Amino acid sequence: MRLQKLNIVFSLVFSFFAACSKDSGDQASANTTGTGGSLARFTISGNYLYLANSWTLRVFDISNPALPIEKPPVSVGSGVETIFPYKDKLFIGSTQGMYVYSLTDPASPVRLGSVLHIRSCDPVVANDSISYTTLLGGSRCGPAESGLYIYDIKDVTSPTLKKMLPLTTPLGLGLIDSIAFVCRGVNGLSAIKVKDPANPQVIYTRNDGEYMDVIPYNGLLICYVKAGILIYEAINPGNITRIGEIDY
């Protein structure tokens, strides 16, 4: 069973990370037909493809994949970098902040709320009530304090900061149950217990590579590292086990 699961992952993993690299410039939910990392710049939800394109959100109806139809673009703001779908919403990360869009009308996403911050790089993942954002300070990402920022989004029209956990070099992130996984480049992959969002705790850090982004997928943790892909079994996210790798 494990071998079969790995074969499926190996066949899909490169398409998963096709848009995940910030250097190239460029989690799934019930109504999402695609899965990508937190650094991805495009996603599929239902019959629509959404592409984050610096200032705008481009929208394509792909009901007929052979004949995609582009809908009017949605103006988001400057520095749009990442896009994460969750149920009937899109969470968009930019150098300016996080934006939440409704997909009630999937052809025309509408902004529900936002939170702005000092200029910084900003991947996002979310669940029903909490969103998680990493801000990387320094270099091109600006002067914000590096760390994991946790927002209460019960009222998506007005996200409120619940807690900031300082972390060095935070990059992509993923969420399994009550554990957030934060990629930290050469500083490893940190598993952070967030059952109490106001009191996040780092429970362990793996140091098997230079971690850039991560995708939780069907009991697995698929990690994009500088040298390739690392696969972990994560049925128990509190104790992941490395089971495979793909070298570039």
Q: What is the mean pLDDT of each run of 10 residues along the chain (248 residues)?
A: 48 45 39 58 86 87 89 86 87 84 96 74 84 79 80 89 94 92 96 96 96 89 91 93 86
The whole-number pLDDT of residue 111 equals 94
Report in angstroms the alpha-carbon separations of 62 from 86, 102, 201, 203. 19, 19, 41, 42
The whole-number pLDDT of residue 11 equals 47
The tokens describing 67, both together, are: 């004949």
The whole-number pLDDT of residue 33 equals 43
The tokens describing 41, both together, are: 């710049």
| Domain chopping of the chain, boundaries | 2-247
The whole-number pLDDT of residue 121 equals 62
The set of residues, in sequence order, having a beta carbon less than 8 Å from that of 87 and lying 6+ positions away, is 29, 30, 31, 128
The tokens describing 130, both together, are: 């909490």
Asked if 113 and 156 touch (Cβ cutoff 8 Å), the reply is yes
The whole-number pLDDT of residue 143 equals 60
Please give, one letter per residue, the 3-state secondary structure of the chain.
Answer: CHHHHHHHHHHHHHHHCCCCCHHHCCCCCCCCCCCCCCCCCEEEECCEEEEEEEEEEEEEECCCCCCCEEEEEEEEEEEEEEEEEECCEEEEEECCEEEEEECCCCCCCEEEEEEECCCCECCEEECCCEEEEEEECCHHHCCCCCEEEEEECCCCCCCEEEEEEECCCCCCEEEECCEEEEECECCCEEEEECCCCCCCEEEEEECCCCEEEEEEECCEEEEEECCEEEEEECCCCCCCEEEEEEEC
Asked if 144 and 122 touch (Cβ cutoff 8 Å), the reply is no
Question: CATH classification of 2-247 is 3.40.190.10, yes or no?
Answer: no
Q: What is the mean pLDDT of the chain?
A: 82
